Amino acid sequence: MTDASARATPVDVPIDVPIDVPNDVPIDAIGGPDSIGMAAAVDALPDQMEAALASAAYVGGLPDASAVTNVMVMGMGGSGVAGDIVAALAAPELTVPVAVAKGYDCPAFVGPTTLAIAVSFSGDTEETLESAIAAHDAGALLIAVTTGGRLAELSRQWDAPLYAVDPSIPMPRAAVGAITVAPLVALERIGLLVGVDAMVDATVAQLCTRRDLGDVESDAVSDVISQIGAGHLLPIFYGGGSLGSVAASRAKAQVNENVKIPAYASAMPELCHNELAGWDLAGPPEQVSPLVVFALRHDFEHPQIARRYDFARRVLDGARIPVPYHEVRAQGDGPMAQLFDLIFQVDRLSLRMAAAAGRDPGPVALLTDLKAYLAQS
Protein backbone atom coordinates (compact mmCIF):
# COMPACT_ATOMS: atom_id res chain seq x y z
CA MET A 1 0.00 0.00 0.00
CA THR A 2 1.48 3.31 -1.02
CA ASP A 3 0.67 6.88 -0.15
CA ALA A 4 0.21 8.92 -3.30
CA SER A 5 -0.27 12.27 -1.61
CA ALA A 6 2.11 15.15 -1.19
CA ARG A 7 -0.43 16.27 1.39
CA ALA A 8 -0.79 12.78 2.80
CA THR A 9 -1.06 13.65 6.47
CA PRO A 10 -4.76 13.37 7.34
CA VAL A 11 -6.72 16.24 8.78
CA ASP A 12 -5.72 17.14 12.30
CA VAL A 13 -8.52 15.66 14.36
CA PRO A 14 -7.99 14.80 18.01
CA ILE A 15 -8.24 11.08 18.64
CA ASP A 16 -10.32 10.14 21.66
CA VAL A 17 -8.87 6.64 21.90
CA PRO A 18 -5.08 6.63 21.49
CA ILE A 19 -4.02 3.52 19.60
CA ASP A 20 -0.47 2.59 18.72
CA VAL A 21 -0.38 0.25 15.74
CA PRO A 22 3.21 -0.43 14.64
CA ASN A 23 3.55 -0.68 10.87
CA ASP A 24 5.43 -3.98 10.96
CA VAL A 25 3.11 -5.93 13.26
CA PRO A 26 1.16 -8.74 11.50
CA ILE A 27 -2.59 -8.28 11.50
CA ASP A 28 -3.12 -11.27 13.77
CA ALA A 29 -0.85 -9.75 16.42
CA ILE A 30 -2.26 -6.20 16.61
CA GLY A 31 -4.23 -7.07 19.71
CA GLY A 32 -7.79 -6.45 18.60
CA PRO A 33 -10.51 -8.99 19.42
CA ASP A 34 -10.94 -11.77 16.84
CA SER A 35 -13.27 -14.41 18.24
CA ILE A 36 -13.44 -16.68 15.18
CA GLY A 37 -10.02 -16.23 13.59
CA MET A 38 -10.82 -13.84 10.75
CA ALA A 39 -7.21 -12.66 10.56
CA ALA A 40 -5.96 -16.21 10.11
CA ALA A 41 -8.65 -16.84 7.50
CA VAL A 42 -7.56 -13.79 5.50
CA ASP A 43 -3.94 -14.90 5.58
CA ALA A 44 -5.01 -18.37 4.41
CA LEU A 45 -6.56 -17.03 1.20
CA PRO A 46 -3.87 -18.39 -1.16
CA ASP A 47 -4.06 -21.82 0.50
CA GLN A 48 -7.85 -21.72 0.23
CA MET A 49 -7.65 -21.02 -3.51
CA GLU A 50 -5.21 -23.87 -4.10
CA ALA A 51 -7.46 -26.27 -2.22
CA ALA A 52 -10.54 -25.10 -4.12
CA LEU A 53 -8.77 -25.60 -7.45
CA ALA A 54 -7.78 -29.15 -6.49
CA SER A 55 -11.21 -30.17 -5.20
CA ALA A 56 -13.03 -28.68 -8.20
CA ALA A 57 -11.31 -31.16 -10.48
CA TYR A 58 -13.46 -34.00 -9.10
CA VAL A 59 -16.85 -32.45 -9.90
CA GLY A 60 -18.62 -34.07 -12.86
CA GLY A 61 -21.96 -33.89 -14.59
CA LEU A 62 -21.29 -30.54 -16.27
CA PRO A 63 -23.06 -29.58 -19.51
CA ASP A 64 -21.25 -28.94 -22.78
CA ALA A 65 -20.59 -25.42 -24.00
CA SER A 66 -22.88 -26.01 -26.98
CA ALA A 67 -25.84 -26.20 -24.58
CA VAL A 68 -25.16 -22.78 -23.00
CA THR A 69 -26.22 -19.43 -24.47
CA ASN A 70 -25.91 -17.33 -21.30
CA VAL A 71 -24.56 -17.54 -17.76
CA MET A 72 -26.17 -16.24 -14.57
CA VAL A 73 -24.47 -16.24 -11.16
CA MET A 74 -26.79 -15.94 -8.14
CA GLY A 75 -25.67 -14.96 -4.65
CA MET A 76 -25.92 -12.45 -1.84
CA GLY A 77 -23.49 -10.65 0.43
CA GLY A 78 -20.16 -12.35 0.96
CA SER A 79 -21.24 -15.12 -1.39
CA GLY A 80 -22.67 -12.79 -4.01
CA VAL A 81 -19.29 -11.20 -4.64
CA ALA A 82 -18.37 -14.39 -6.50
CA GLY A 83 -20.73 -13.36 -9.28
CA ASP A 84 -19.16 -9.92 -9.53
CA ILE A 85 -15.68 -11.40 -9.72
CA VAL A 86 -16.63 -14.05 -12.25
CA ALA A 87 -18.29 -11.41 -14.43
CA ALA A 88 -15.26 -9.11 -14.21
CA LEU A 89 -12.77 -11.86 -15.05
CA ALA A 90 -14.70 -14.12 -17.42
CA ALA A 91 -17.05 -11.80 -19.32
CA PRO A 92 -14.27 -10.28 -21.46
CA GLU A 93 -13.26 -13.79 -22.57
CA LEU A 94 -16.65 -15.50 -23.02
CA THR A 95 -18.69 -15.63 -26.21
CA VAL A 96 -21.92 -15.71 -24.18
CA PRO A 97 -23.21 -12.99 -21.82
CA VAL A 98 -22.75 -13.21 -18.05
CA ALA A 99 -25.31 -11.75 -15.63
CA VAL A 100 -25.25 -11.44 -11.84
CA ALA A 101 -28.49 -11.82 -9.87
CA LYS A 102 -28.65 -10.52 -6.30
CA GLY A 103 -32.10 -10.90 -4.88
CA TYR A 104 -35.20 -13.07 -4.82
CA ASP A 105 -36.14 -12.71 -8.47
CA CYS A 106 -34.93 -14.87 -11.34
CA PRO A 107 -34.52 -12.87 -14.58
CA ALA A 108 -37.04 -13.63 -17.32
CA PHE A 109 -34.33 -14.58 -19.83
CA VAL A 110 -33.39 -17.66 -17.79
CA GLY A 111 -34.30 -20.88 -19.57
CA PRO A 112 -33.02 -24.29 -20.69
CA THR A 113 -29.85 -22.82 -22.24
CA THR A 114 -28.92 -20.79 -19.14
CA LEU A 115 -26.03 -21.94 -16.99
CA ALA A 116 -27.24 -20.85 -13.54
CA ILE A 117 -24.58 -20.91 -10.81
CA ALA A 118 -26.05 -20.61 -7.32
CA VAL A 119 -23.51 -19.51 -4.69
CA SER A 120 -24.43 -19.61 -1.01
CA PHE A 121 -21.80 -20.26 1.64
CA SER A 122 -24.32 -21.53 4.17
CA GLY A 123 -26.61 -23.08 1.59
CA ASP A 124 -29.56 -21.42 3.32
CA THR A 125 -29.55 -17.87 1.93
CA GLU A 126 -33.23 -17.30 1.28
CA GLU A 127 -32.84 -14.96 -1.69
CA THR A 128 -30.45 -17.31 -3.47
CA LEU A 129 -32.60 -20.36 -2.76
CA GLU A 130 -35.71 -18.69 -4.16
CA SER A 131 -33.87 -17.55 -7.27
CA ALA A 132 -32.24 -20.97 -7.76
CA ILE A 133 -35.59 -22.77 -7.46
CA ALA A 134 -37.10 -20.41 -10.04
CA ALA A 135 -34.13 -21.01 -12.36
CA HIS A 136 -34.53 -24.77 -11.98
CA ASP A 137 -38.26 -24.52 -12.68
CA ALA A 138 -37.39 -22.56 -15.84
CA GLY A 139 -35.25 -25.47 -16.99
CA ALA A 140 -31.85 -23.87 -16.39
CA LEU A 141 -28.64 -25.90 -16.11
CA LEU A 142 -27.87 -25.58 -12.39
CA ILE A 143 -24.54 -25.62 -10.56
CA ALA A 144 -24.30 -25.18 -6.76
CA VAL A 145 -21.40 -23.75 -4.76
CA THR A 146 -21.93 -24.16 -1.02
CA THR A 147 -20.83 -25.74 2.25
CA GLY A 148 -24.15 -27.55 2.58
CA GLY A 149 -27.61 -26.55 3.79
CA ARG A 150 -30.75 -26.52 1.66
CA LEU A 151 -28.85 -25.64 -1.53
CA ALA A 152 -26.78 -28.82 -1.25
CA GLU A 153 -29.96 -30.83 -0.68
CA LEU A 154 -31.60 -29.32 -3.74
CA SER A 155 -28.55 -29.90 -5.91
CA ARG A 156 -28.70 -33.61 -5.04
CA GLN A 157 -32.43 -33.73 -5.76
CA TRP A 158 -31.87 -32.03 -9.11
CA ASP A 159 -28.76 -34.10 -9.88
CA ALA A 160 -26.90 -30.82 -10.33
CA PRO A 161 -23.10 -30.50 -10.01
CA LEU A 162 -22.11 -29.48 -6.49
CA TYR A 163 -18.88 -27.67 -5.64
CA ALA A 164 -18.31 -28.16 -1.91
CA VAL A 165 -16.79 -25.22 -0.04
CA ASP A 166 -14.63 -25.86 3.03
CA PRO A 167 -17.01 -25.45 6.01
CA SER A 168 -14.13 -24.61 8.37
CA ILE A 169 -13.85 -21.15 6.79
CA PRO A 170 -15.35 -18.92 9.49
CA MET A 171 -17.52 -16.56 7.42
CA PRO A 172 -18.81 -16.20 3.84
CA ARG A 173 -16.72 -13.08 3.30
CA ALA A 174 -13.60 -15.07 4.21
CA ALA A 175 -14.40 -17.67 1.54
CA VAL A 176 -13.96 -15.32 -1.43
CA GLY A 177 -11.26 -17.51 -2.99
CA ALA A 178 -13.15 -20.80 -2.80
CA ILE A 179 -16.47 -19.45 -4.04
CA THR A 180 -14.76 -17.74 -6.99
CA VAL A 181 -12.45 -20.53 -8.10
CA ALA A 182 -15.28 -23.08 -8.34
CA PRO A 183 -17.41 -21.20 -10.92
CA LEU A 184 -14.33 -20.34 -12.98
CA VAL A 185 -13.24 -23.98 -13.06
CA ALA A 186 -16.78 -24.97 -14.04
CA LEU A 187 -16.74 -22.51 -16.94
CA GLU A 188 -13.43 -23.94 -18.11
CA ARG A 189 -14.56 -27.58 -17.82
CA ILE A 190 -17.70 -26.75 -19.78
CA GLY A 191 -15.56 -25.27 -22.52
CA LEU A 192 -16.47 -21.60 -22.17
CA LEU A 193 -13.19 -20.39 -20.64
CA VAL A 194 -9.52 -21.33 -20.83
CA GLY A 195 -6.45 -20.87 -18.65
CA VAL A 196 -8.08 -20.98 -15.21
CA ASP A 197 -5.32 -23.10 -13.64
CA ALA A 198 -2.68 -20.59 -14.75
CA MET A 199 -4.80 -17.68 -13.49
CA VAL A 200 -5.20 -19.27 -10.07
CA ASP A 201 -1.51 -20.21 -9.88
CA ALA A 202 -0.48 -16.61 -10.64
CA THR A 203 -2.96 -15.33 -8.06
CA VAL A 204 -1.71 -17.71 -5.36
CA ALA A 205 1.89 -16.69 -6.08
CA GLN A 206 1.04 -12.99 -5.71
CA LEU A 207 -0.97 -13.51 -2.53
CA CYS A 208 1.89 -15.47 -0.97
CA THR A 209 4.27 -12.66 -1.85
CA ARG A 210 1.90 -10.07 -0.39
CA ARG A 211 1.36 -12.17 2.74
CA ASP A 212 5.11 -12.47 3.30
CA LEU A 213 5.50 -8.69 3.07
CA GLY A 214 3.19 -8.11 6.04
CA ASP A 215 1.61 -4.72 6.70
CA VAL A 216 4.09 -2.02 5.73
CA GLU A 217 2.21 1.25 5.49
CA SER A 218 3.08 4.91 5.58
CA ASP A 219 2.63 6.87 8.78
CA ALA A 220 -0.19 8.76 7.05
CA VAL A 221 -2.14 5.55 6.38
CA SER A 222 -1.54 4.33 9.94
CA ASP A 223 -2.88 7.66 11.20
CA VAL A 224 -5.96 7.27 9.00
CA ILE A 225 -6.53 3.77 10.37
CA SER A 226 -6.38 5.14 13.90
CA GLN A 227 -8.79 7.98 13.07
CA ILE A 228 -11.23 5.55 11.48
CA GLY A 229 -11.00 3.41 14.59
CA ALA A 230 -11.69 6.43 16.76
CA GLY A 231 -14.75 7.34 14.71
CA HIS A 232 -13.40 10.52 13.10
CA LEU A 233 -13.20 9.34 9.49
CA LEU A 234 -15.22 7.10 7.19
CA PRO A 235 -13.65 5.44 4.12
CA ILE A 236 -14.70 5.73 0.49
CA PHE A 237 -13.20 3.31 -2.02
CA TYR A 238 -12.70 4.30 -5.65
CA GLY A 239 -12.13 1.56 -8.23
CA GLY A 240 -11.46 1.82 -11.95
CA GLY A 241 -13.10 -0.33 -14.62
CA SER A 242 -14.71 -3.69 -13.94
CA LEU A 243 -11.82 -5.02 -11.82
CA GLY A 244 -11.55 -1.89 -9.69
CA SER A 245 -15.31 -1.62 -9.33
CA VAL A 246 -15.48 -5.13 -7.85
CA ALA A 247 -12.53 -4.41 -5.55
CA ALA A 248 -14.16 -1.20 -4.31
CA SER A 249 -17.58 -2.73 -3.62
CA ARG A 250 -15.91 -5.67 -1.88
CA ALA A 251 -13.83 -3.24 0.23
CA LYS A 252 -16.94 -1.33 1.28
CA ALA A 253 -18.65 -4.53 2.41
CA GLN A 254 -15.56 -5.72 4.30
CA VAL A 255 -15.39 -2.49 6.29
CA ASN A 256 -19.13 -2.65 6.95
CA GLU A 257 -18.93 -6.18 8.37
CA ASN A 258 -15.43 -6.28 9.87
CA VAL A 259 -15.37 -2.80 11.39
CA LYS A 260 -19.14 -2.32 11.79
CA ILE A 261 -19.13 1.21 10.39
CA PRO A 262 -20.54 2.84 7.26
CA ALA A 263 -18.29 2.83 4.19
CA TYR A 264 -18.85 3.75 0.58
CA ALA A 265 -17.72 2.69 -2.88
CA SER A 266 -17.78 4.27 -6.33
CA ALA A 267 -16.34 3.35 -9.70
CA MET A 268 -14.47 5.14 -12.45
CA PRO A 269 -15.49 6.42 -14.94
CA GLU A 270 -19.08 6.71 -13.66
CA LEU A 271 -18.20 8.75 -10.57
CA CYS A 272 -16.71 11.43 -12.81
CA HIS A 273 -20.17 12.01 -14.26
CA ASN A 274 -21.82 12.77 -10.93
CA GLU A 275 -20.11 12.15 -7.57
CA LEU A 276 -17.03 14.18 -8.39
CA ALA A 277 -19.17 17.32 -8.60
CA GLY A 278 -20.14 16.84 -4.96
CA TRP A 279 -16.62 17.40 -3.62
CA ASP A 280 -15.79 20.85 -4.94
CA LEU A 281 -17.83 23.08 -2.65
CA ALA A 282 -18.89 20.66 0.07
CA GLY A 283 -19.11 22.35 3.48
CA PRO A 284 -17.63 25.52 4.97
CA PRO A 285 -13.83 25.80 4.68
CA GLU A 286 -13.23 25.83 8.42
CA GLN A 287 -14.48 22.25 8.71
CA VAL A 288 -12.34 19.13 8.41
CA SER A 289 -13.18 16.22 6.17
CA PRO A 290 -15.15 13.36 7.74
CA LEU A 291 -14.17 11.16 4.79
CA VAL A 292 -11.02 9.60 3.36
CA VAL A 293 -10.68 8.24 -0.17
CA PHE A 294 -8.78 5.03 -0.90
CA ALA A 295 -8.08 4.67 -4.62
CA LEU A 296 -7.74 1.01 -5.62
CA ARG A 297 -5.42 0.97 -8.64
CA HIS A 298 -4.42 -1.81 -11.04
CA ASP A 299 -2.49 -2.17 -14.29
CA PHE A 300 -5.53 -2.98 -16.45
CA GLU A 301 -7.22 0.41 -16.23
CA HIS A 302 -8.15 2.18 -19.46
CA PRO A 303 -5.66 5.04 -20.04
CA GLN A 304 -8.46 7.59 -19.67
CA ILE A 305 -9.41 6.13 -16.29
CA ALA A 306 -5.88 6.80 -15.07
CA ARG A 307 -6.28 10.42 -16.19
CA ARG A 308 -9.63 10.59 -14.42
CA TYR A 309 -7.93 9.53 -11.18
CA ASP A 310 -5.43 12.35 -11.65
CA PHE A 311 -8.22 14.88 -12.18
CA ALA A 312 -10.22 13.55 -9.23
CA ARG A 313 -7.15 13.89 -7.04
CA ARG A 314 -6.85 17.54 -8.04
CA VAL A 315 -10.50 18.10 -7.11
CA LEU A 316 -10.06 16.43 -3.71
CA ASP A 317 -6.90 18.40 -2.97
CA GLY A 318 -8.47 21.70 -4.04
CA ALA A 319 -11.86 21.28 -2.41
CA ARG A 320 -12.91 23.78 0.25
CA ILE A 321 -12.46 20.89 2.68
CA PRO A 322 -9.41 18.94 1.41
CA VAL A 323 -10.07 15.20 1.44
CA PRO A 324 -7.33 12.76 2.52
CA TYR A 325 -6.43 10.48 -0.39
CA HIS A 326 -4.37 7.30 -0.47
CA GLU A 327 -3.68 4.75 -3.17
CA VAL A 328 -3.64 0.97 -2.85
CA ARG A 329 -1.65 -0.47 -5.76
CA ALA A 330 -2.16 -3.97 -7.13
CA GLN A 331 0.64 -6.21 -8.28
CA GLY A 332 0.63 -9.63 -9.89
CA ASP A 333 0.62 -11.41 -13.22
CA GLY A 334 -2.78 -10.93 -14.85
CA PRO A 335 -6.19 -9.48 -13.98
CA MET A 336 -7.15 -12.18 -11.47
CA ALA A 337 -3.87 -11.86 -9.55
CA GLN A 338 -4.20 -8.08 -9.36
CA LEU A 339 -7.88 -8.15 -8.38
CA PHE A 340 -7.21 -10.59 -5.56
CA ASP A 341 -4.14 -8.63 -4.52
CA LEU A 342 -6.41 -5.61 -3.99
CA ILE A 343 -8.94 -7.79 -2.15
CA PHE A 344 -6.23 -9.20 0.10
CA GLN A 345 -4.72 -5.80 0.89
CA VAL A 346 -8.07 -4.25 1.75
CA ASP A 347 -9.17 -7.26 3.80
CA ARG A 348 -6.08 -6.81 5.93
CA LEU A 349 -6.64 -3.06 6.04
CA SER A 350 -10.19 -3.60 7.29
CA LEU A 351 -8.92 -5.85 10.07
CA ARG A 352 -6.48 -3.17 11.15
CA MET A 353 -9.37 -0.71 11.24
CA ALA A 354 -11.38 -3.17 13.34
CA ALA A 355 -8.49 -3.56 15.77
CA ALA A 356 -8.13 0.21 16.01
CA ALA A 357 -11.83 0.44 16.80
CA GLY A 358 -11.61 -2.43 19.29
CA ARG A 359 -14.25 -4.35 17.37
CA ASP A 360 -14.46 -8.07 16.69
CA PRO A 361 -14.38 -8.58 12.90
CA GLY A 362 -16.23 -11.87 13.21
CA PRO A 363 -19.98 -12.35 13.68
CA VAL A 364 -22.33 -9.49 12.82
CA ALA A 365 -25.12 -9.58 15.41
CA LEU A 366 -27.33 -7.21 13.43
CA LEU A 367 -27.46 -9.53 10.42
CA THR A 368 -28.25 -12.50 12.67
CA ASP A 369 -31.11 -10.47 14.15
CA LEU A 370 -32.36 -9.63 10.66
CA LYS A 371 -32.48 -13.30 9.63
CA ALA A 372 -34.41 -14.14 12.81
CA TYR A 373 -36.82 -11.29 12.13
CA LEU A 374 -37.44 -12.39 8.55
CA ALA A 375 -37.97 -15.99 9.65
CA GLN A 376 -40.94 -14.88 11.79
CA SER A 377 -42.97 -13.74 8.78
**Domains by residue range for the chain, with CATH:** 42-207 (3.40.50.10490), 215-357 (3.40.50.10490)
**Residue range 174-189: average pLDDT?**
97
Contact criterion met (CB below 8 Å) for 136 and 112: no
The pLDDT of residue 30 is 52
**Residue range 90-103: average pLDDT?**
96
Supply φ then ψ for residue 353, to 5 degrees.
-65, -40
The pLDDT of residue 288 is 80
**Residue range 178-191: average pLDDT?**
98
**Residue range 104-114: average pLDDT?**
96
pLDDT of residue 189 exceeding 50, the answer is: yes
pLDDT of residue 291 exceeding 50, the answer is: yes
Consecutive H or E run containing 71: strand 70-74
- Per-residue model confidence as pLDDT tens digits over 46-83: 999 999 999 999 999 999 999 999 999 999 999 999 99
280: CB partners within 8 A, 6+ apart: 315, 318, 319, 320
Centroid of chain to Cα 216: 21
**Residue range 280-307: average pLDDT?**
86
- Per-residue model confidence as pLDDT tens digits over 368-377: 898 889 888 6
Report H helices in the chain. 38-43, 45-56, 77-90, 126-137, 149-157, 176-190, 196-213, 219-229, 241-254, 303-318, 335-357, 365-375
User: Where residue 4 falls among pLDDT bands split at 50, 70, 90?
Assistant: very low
The pLDDT of residue 319 is 81
- Per-residue model confidence as pLDDT tens digits over 308-348: 999 999 999 888 788 899 999 999 999 999 999 999 999 99
pLDDT of residue 299 exceeding 70, the answer is: yes
Q: What's this model's pTM, rounded to 2 decimal places?
A: 0.90
- Per-residue model confidence as pLDDT tens digits over 216-226: 678 889 999 99
pLDDT of residue 160 exceeding 50, the answer is: yes
Rounded distance between C-alpha atoms, residue 370 and residue 70, angstroms: 33
The pLDDT of residue 341 is 98
- Per-residue model confidence as pLDDT tens digits over 30-48: 568 999 999 999 999 999 9
Q: Please choose, from the candidates 198, 239, 216, 242, the residue with its C-alpha nearest in 3D space to the C-alpha of residue 337.
A: 198
Contact criterion met (CB below 8 Å) for 320 and 7: no
**Residue range 259-279: average pLDDT?**
95
256: CB partners within 8 A, 6+ apart: 262, 263
pLDDT of residue 21 exceeding 80, the answer is: no
Rounded distance between C-alpha atoms, residue 326 and residue 355, angstroms: 20
Supply φ then ψ for residue 163, to 5 degrees.
-100, 110
The pLDDT of residue 280 is 74
The pLDDT of residue 174 is 96
